[in-house]
Amino acid sequence: MGGWTGPRPPTGPPQDSLSGVWDVTLRATGGMHVTKGQEIPARIALLRSTTASRLRWSDEGGATHVGVIDRYLRIGVESSPRSHLPTLVGASEDAGGRITVVVNPGPSHGSLVMEGRAAGDSVSGRWYVTAYAMGATGTFVMRKAAP
């Protein structure tokens, strides 16, 4: 009657690989508003949020995290440089490790969508700007910023 001797369940909050501050580099490969090879640096801060699921960018699902990006992107993303407010970001990670980050989620055009896979403290993949025609495209790398 010594009690349970099997493995103990993990303690503390569940692992959350997306929360934190990320240094992002977008590299343009084509489309309007960019020059091929152009590198665009940015910083994104993300937090897990129970209300993030209201941000939906497809029928497949929506955000698990919300946050902001630190700069106005002049690549066709609809956000106002005069608003003095940072642009909203939504992000999610599926069970297969696929990560989606959307800058300015909601509208049918004028959003930056980044889709990639995590490897340690970085995420890499492809990005595109939702547009009526010839939206900018490219590759990206996100790295967790040092605390």
Whole-model pTM: value is 0.81
pLDDT digits (tens, 9 = 90+) for 92-121: 988 788 999 999 887 677 889 999 999 889
pLDDT in tens, 26-71: 999 998 888 899 999 999 999 998 777 666 655 556 788 999 998 8
Short-list 29, 19, 56, CA closest to 127: 29
Q: What's the token pair of residue 84?
A: 């003095």
Q: How many CB atoms lie within 10 A of CB 111?
A: 23
pLDDT higher than 60, residue 8: no
Ordered by where they begin, the domains of the chain are: 20-144 (2.40.128.120)
Tokens of 63: 């955000």
Cα(77)–Cα(7) distance, integer angstroms: 49
How do residues 73-92 score in pLDDT, each as one tens digit?
777 776 655 666 778 888 99
Strands 61-62 and 56-58 turn out to be antiparallel
